[in-house]
Amino acid sequence: MAESLPVRFGILGCANIARKVSRAIALAPNALISAIGSRSIEKATAYAKENGYPSTTKIYGSYEAVLDDPEVDAVYVPLPTSLHVKWAVLAAQKKKHVLLEKPVALNVKELDVILEECESNGVQYMDATMWMHHPRTAKMKEFLSDSHRFGHLKSVHSTFAYLGDTEFLKNDIRVKADLDALGALGDAGWYSIRAILWITDYELPKTVTALRDPELNEAGVILSCGASLSWKDGRIATFYCSFLTNMAMDIVASGSKGNLRVHDFVIPFQENVAPFYTVEDSRFGELATAIHPVPSEQQVGTDLPQEALMVKEFSNLVGSIKGKGSKPDKKWPTISRKTQLVVDAVKASIEKGFETVEVIY
Amino acid sequence: MAESLPVRFGILGCANIARKVSRAIALAPNALISAIGSRSIEKATAYAKENGYPSTTKIYGSYEAVLDDPEVDAVYVPLPTSLHVKWAVLAAQKKKHVLLEKPVALNVKELDVILEECESNGVQYMDATMWMHHPRTAKMKEFLSDSHRFGHLKSVHSTFAYLGDTEFLKNDIRVKADLDALGALGDAGWYSIRAILWITDYELPKTVTALRDPELNEAGVILSCGASLSWKDGRIATFYCSFLTNMAMDIVASGSKGNLRVHDFVIPFQENVAPFYTVEDSRFGELATAIHPVPSEQQVGTDLPQEALMVKEFSNLVGSIKGKGSKPDKKWPTISRKTQLVVDAVKASIEKGFETVEVIY
């Protein structure tokens, strides 16, 4: 099979998170940075230099110019959420494949506009949920899918929280009602909701009920919240997300036969190796004075960081479309939409005074 | 200070859990087994022999006889919950100190009858929540109380679940509506609720909301359920308890500055040493590609198992009352009552279709 040409990325804006993804594009074997656009060409120039962009990178003073560049195959969109619908739609219309930072949209209605535009223009869509691409994730799924070891899922709890400092809580886009209106729910909660859906094989919950009394800032943006999710067969999930708590990135999944625990699921403590913990067939010792076995640690190494694996996977899909005329993969838009549906349901439940909300695809 | 005489225990019934506590009484330096009563004297005789009771132990064919024995200072009551109010009240009236197995009562109204009788008769009351007495619990509390390391509590999740086998789910007293009507909520949920109250320094939550759709058996007894608890300052807690899930005994507490995790809080994996995990001041690495520090494990050893430390603590209090005319300690009845109040609130919320219930002391 002939090697296809690397996918040429355009970067929209000079967001902090784009530094990490730019490095990932450089690391991925099938991608390269071709262009960056910012409203300020000076800013883009400095950014490209600081982040070691190739000397061939084209620097533009607008996002449009990136979209108009025929040497750009795909765009990475790390703009504030409120701008996603405009720029992702425009990108699709210009036949650029779209790697979209999360939260992907302010609500599913907006996301549907993006997804429909991507579909009708035949471009690949993927949200930038990096941990999905770590080989640990596949290893954990192997355990969760093992009916002898894990059995069937009964309950799962996930937390993603980190402590925003004074500057963050005052000025970050994630606490601004006009930029990332979903606050901690869209930023941190997105990951826990995705984790819960990932564990349930993307079966949407029947109901979502927000936990009482989320913390809001003066503009009404969520700084911490949580919810419980229920499925019709008795499975339940809970999650908590926050900008006001020391960092935690936990999944604790209980199956009928085993348990899985991970404490750094979003970003591994170390870049090249990531742990998780399993235990199965736990039993009380004599007189119930001990429990065996003790949970065991599994370590999963990776040559490429998870964000580079994400870029590689996205570029593989783009390469297949470009090189072989394949159709865009449906998995990524589908799970992105399901995640957004649950985000929306949590928000609706909060707005309705913590009423239970049904989730319908 | 003169050594006081050991506290002489009478055991009511031949429950399986009493085997563990009998060993604990033998191990505690200030307690001994003086008598056992069962409705069947043959059963009690065999039980005493099997469990290595001292040859001096008096064997009775009724519970009453134990309560009438002047050489019994205190009773351990491992009877089904529905019998607690009768036998704990009678014990208190006979001036026997009461170590009461959990769940302590079917509801707080019943518990109040027990507590009032203990108070008016000047006898010590304690519920048999063993993990409270492990030195690990005090060590964890040190961390949780450290404003520099843990900061203030923001959220906590606890799970206590274990897998009941076919025999358990059919015949155990914990699934019988007429014996332990609180099912998994009273048995396993009790521990998670206690853990949550322990972490909040026993400040009752403002509200309790049951998670939707607990699993019930044919008699309507709870086999799995959960709830969220909220305090007026934005603190939240969630818990899940079950007889249908592989064993999990987790507390995951998030503070503003640090986190605490423990995976065997009810019964340590090993009897003589117990781990917990802390992390503080977690930060993203360069480009948010890693997180440091990694949580660290603390191991806490103990010479006596936690249930023997429970008997020792209870016997110390009894010894002070007997030897020095001290008043019964109020801490234990108070936290037992608060735990029961939350159990009751979860049950009420389930019965009201998952409505939010206020908790009032």
pLDDT recorded at residue A3: 60
Give B179: exposed, middle or buried? Use CB within 10 Å, 0-12, 13-18, 19+.
middle
Q: Which of A43, A53, A45, A65 is nearest to A21 (CA)?
A: A53
Q: What structural domains does chain B harbor?
A: 7-129 (3.40.50.720), 132-305+340-358 (3.30.360.10)
Q: How confident is the model at residue A4 (pLDDT cuts 50, 70, 90)?
A: confident
Nearest by Cα to A169 from A214, A215, A129, A212:
A215
Q: In terms of DSSP bridges, do strands A97-100 and B222-230 run parallel, antiparallel, or are they unpaired?
A: unpaired
Taking a contact as any Cβ pair under 8 Å apart, which residues of chain A between 45 and 64 contact chain B? none
Q: Does B87 touch chain A (CB under 8 A)?
A: no
As a three-state string, the secondary structure of chain A is CCCCCCEEEEEECCCHHHHHHHHHHHHCCCEEEEEEECCCHHHHHHHHHHCCCCCCCEEECCHHHHHHCCCCCEEEECCCHHHHHHHHHHHHHCCCEEEECCCCCCCHHHHHHHHHHHHHCCCCEEECCHHHHCHHHHHHHHHHCCCCCCCCEEEEEEEEEEECCHHHHHHCHHHCCCCCCCHHHHHHHHHHHHHHHHHCCCCCCCEEEECCCCEECCCCCEEEEEEEEECCCCCEEEEEEECEEEEEEEEEEEECCEEEEECECCCCCCCCEEEEEEEECCEECHHHCCEECCCEEEEEECCCCHHHHHHHHHHHHHHHHHHHCCCCCCHHHHHHHHHHHHHHHHHHHHHCCCCEEECCC
Assess whether the previous peptide bond of A29 is cis (omega < 30° from 0): no
pLDDT tens-digit map of A126-183? 999 999 999 999 999 999 999 999 999 999 999 999 999 999 999 999 999 999 999 9
A227 token code pair: 């919810």
Indicate whether A57 pLDDT > 90. yes
Nearest CA of chain A to the CA of B316: how many Å? 23
Mean pLDDT of A248-263: 98
- Token pair in block for residue B218: 């044919």
Label residue B1 by pLDDT band (50, 70, 90): very low
Mean pLDDT across chain B: 97
CB interface of B with A, residues 292-321, below 8 Å? 292, 294-295, 305, 307
pLDDT digits (tens, 9 = 90+) for A200-227: 999 999 999 999 999 999 999 999 999 9
Decide if B224 and A234 are in contact by the 8 Å CB cutoff: yes
Q: How far is A157 from chain B (nearest CA, A)?
A: 8
pLDDT at A1 over 60: no
Which two structure tokens, joined as six digits, stand for B16?
């399986």
Of the candidates A246, A249, A271, the beta carbon closest to that of B290 is on A271
- Concatenated DSSP letters for B141-173? HHHHT-TTTT-SEEEEEEEEEEE--HHHHHH-G
pLDDT at residue B2 greater than cutoff 60? no
Nearest C-alpha in B relative to A240: B155
In whole numbers, what is the pLDDT of chain A averaged over residues?
Answer: 97
Confidence of residue B4 (pLDDT cuts 50, 70, 90): confident
Over range A321-329, report the average pLDDT.
Answer: 96
Chain centroid to Cα A17, Å, comes to 13
* Cβ proximity of B266 and B191 under 8 Å: yes
Buried b (16+ CB within 10 A) or exposed e, B24-61: bbbbbebbbbbbbbbeeeeebbebbeebebeeebbbbe
Mean pLDDT of A318-333: 97
pLDDT band at residue A361 under the 50/70/90 scheme? confident
Banded pLDDT at B237 (limits 50, 70, 90): very high
Contacts of A249 in chain B (CB under 8 A): 291
Compute the average pLDDT of residues A266-288. Answer: 96
Q: What per-residue confidence (pLDDT) applies to B3?
A: 60
| pLDDT given for residue B361 in this prediction | 83
ipTM confidence score: 0.95
| Cα torsion A78, A83, A84, A90: sign | negative
Torsion sign, CA atoms B65, B71, B74, B78: negative
Q: B215 or B4: which carries more pLDDT confidence?
A: B215
| B238 touches A: beta carbon within 8 Å | yes
Residues A337, A340, A341: CA angle, nearest 5 degrees: 85
Q: Where are the beta strands (DSSP E) in B150-233?
A: 153-163, 207-210, 215-216, 222-230
What token pair was written down for A278?
């399993």
Residue B273 contacts A where some CB pair is shorter than 8 Å: no
Average pLDDT over residues B181-187: 97
**pLDDT of B29-64, one tens digit each?**
999 999 999 999 999 999 999 999 999 999 999 999
Question: Min CA distance, B122 vs chain A (Å)?
Answer: 32
Any B CB within 8 A of A226 CB: yes
Give the number of beta-carbon pairs within 8 Å between A and B.
216
Over 50: is that where the pLDDT of B184 sits?
A: yes
